Amino acid sequence: MDFSVIENVGKTQHPKTYDGHIQYGTAGFRTRATILDHVLYRMGVLAVLRSKAKNAVIGLMITASHNPECDNGVKLVDPAGEMLEASWEKIATELANVNDSDISSTVQRIISEQNISINTPASVIIGRDTRTSSAALANSSIAGITAANGTFKNFGVITTPQLHYLVVCTNTNGSYGDATLEGYYRKLSNAFKSIRGGSPSSDKYVPSVKLDAANGVGAIAAREFKKQLEGFLNIEIYNVANENLNHECGADYVKVQQVPPATVPVEINCRCVSIDGDADRVVYYYVDEKAKFHLLDGDRIATLVAGYFKELLNKSGLNLKLGLVQTAYANGGSTHYIENVLKIPVACVPTGVKHLHHKALEFDIGIYFEANGHGTVVFKDSAIEAIRETSASSDSSTAQKDAASKLASAIEVINQTVGDALSDMLLVETILHANGWDVLAWESSYNDLPNKQVKVKVEDRNVISTTDAERKCVKPVGLQEEIDKIVSRYPKGRSFIRASGTEDVVRVYAECENSTDVEKIAQDVASAVRRLAGGVSLS
């Protein structure tokens, strides 16, 4: 590894032209695409170092998920498909922000501090979304990988979950699946068709959905699933252009605005699905006969999955620990239903997939979903083995075998590496088919508390500090007391704030029993944030 080459290429071909501080957040770096060239170059270098440190293939995904087209970003994916280790987030932030003349010394210090053998081979898998800036940024990362003497495989335009899948398959030598896009589609599609079996248990379930692909890369994957699942699930795809990415469409828009995209021809009580720009979030929704919008978000998906898995576990006779992980954004109605009706343990963790995923791994079967629709199910190897043994054992009854077989097929439908919008959609469709449910039956399982989210722009998001899985604000001093006073005036009132991981914004969440009061709570808390945390505007 020639450190002078790494620094010289950075200085001359990918110089740092942005003086502001860029931070690696919960979803990697994410900001305006025009200032990311030097960051992508340096992350190419860092991916090589991480690969050497882990002696495994590392993923590098170029995407800004649900952000507008003008933004972009990059995140590194660790060997088991998980987010980059937290300690390396600080390393990534430092390397991205040093002066061009300090690249060599910084890289050498990382190698020394992390005890990296520079003779270990390094390999990186690259993927990107459909943004116009993504191709050039991919080339910047390739320049960094090459300068650091790493090798790479560029899969071009793919979804973020597909990149995670490819990383895991490569590092497990194919035991998780075939490390190709064809292998990804084949694994999920075959399992979906296998578990469906015969007709649904009632005629309420109609095997057809309207899918809003957010004008992003998910449209490509959705088309392939539509082809492979013909005769099992009809997928009508909308918002498939490579422009206007996430503009008034996509999972984040539907979740926050509480309206369907104008481009999706919504019919009464028809199941509609929206994914986000890189296809790792999914939400369901429908419009009733009174034209009222109904959202079935990540909380609804989590409870649906939890109920289904608990039923199959009971029927199979397997004694496996099932648990569900939520964040503070989870609706209080869902938490009450899970704990008191389903009687499944619930854990609450800070926002961010890495926190949810880590906690879910503590259960034999861990289900995690953020309210925004980002989530999946993870299984311990011992749980998978027990499920497969039961499905094949001569000592198991027919009912036990059948339940265990369905669990085994469900495992293959799920992309355990990360939240996968299309995999999650197939899981939801599997369960609705098994239950014989339409959207009305699904929604009737429990009542959500009315809720509202707003954003407050601030001068510096780092003035906000929280604890108790982000449910309590400890800085600025006095702000939590203000929030407590506000929510105490409303039945079942709850509100919390948290700083964005990618921009100088404070997010406010509010819920209470009466829908007419939710807006009051949200605006009052937002005003307190502006007053005590240096807010500059409200949106």
Is residue 536's pLDDT more than 80?
no
The reported pLDDT for the residue numbered 533 is 86
Rounded mean pLDDT, 41-63: 98
What residue ranges do the domains of the chain occupy? 3-157, 184-294, 298-422+431-443, 451-538
The reported pLDDT for the residue numbered 212 is 97
Give the architecture-level CATH label for domain 3-157. 3-Layer(aba) Sandwich (3.40)
The reported pLDDT for the residue numbered 105 is 97
Residue position matching structure tokens 């609705």: 432
Please give the torsion angle defined by the CA atoms of residues 4, 6, 11 and 12, in that order, rounded to the nearest 10 degrees: 100
Residue stretches of the annotated binding site: 65, 276, 278, 280, 370-372, 498-502, 507
Annotated catalytic residue within 51, 65, 133, 316: 65
- What mean pLDDT, rounded, does the chain reach? 94
**CATH class of the domain defined by 451-538:** alpha beta
pLDDT tens-digit map of 485-529? 999 999 999 999 999 877 889 999 999 999 999 999 999 999 999
Is residue 538's pLDDT more than 60?
no
Rounded mean pLDDT, 429-456: 94
pLDDT tens-digit map of 62-73? 999 888 889 999
Two structure tokens written together for 305:
């999955």
* pLDDT band with cut points at 50, 70 and 90 for residue 539: very low
Q: How far is CA 384 from CA 69, 327, 420, in A?
A: 40, 26, 20
Any catalytic annotation for residue 134?
A: no
Which amino acid does the sequence have at 236? E
Distance of CA 252 to the CA centre of its chain: 11
CA distance 450 to 434: 29
Rounded mean pLDDT, 411-416: 94
- Do 3-157 and 451-538 share a fold? no
Size of the chain, expressed as the number of residues it contains: 539
Rounded mean pLDDT, 268-278: 95
Residue stretches of the annotated binding site for Mg(2+): 65, 276, 278, 280
Own/partner pairs, 227-231, CB within 8 angstroms, 24+ separation = 228/185, 228/186, 228/189, 229/189, 229/192, 229/193
**CATH class of the domain defined by 184-294:** alpha beta
> Percent of the chain at pLDDT above 70?
98
Residue stretches of the annotated binding site for substrate: 370-372, 498-502, 507
User: Domain 298-422+431-443, what fold?
Assistant: Alpha-D-Glucose-1,6-Bisphosphate; Chain A, domain 3 (3.40.120)
Q: How many CA atoms lie within 13 A of 487 on its CB side?
A: 23
* pLDDT band with cut points at 50, 70 and 90 for residue 25: confident
The reported pLDDT for the residue numbered 242 is 75
pTM of the model: 0.89
SS3 call for 59: strand
CB-based contact 428:306 (threshold 8 Å): no
**What are the E-state strand segments in 148-281?**
151-157, 208-212, 234-238, 272-275
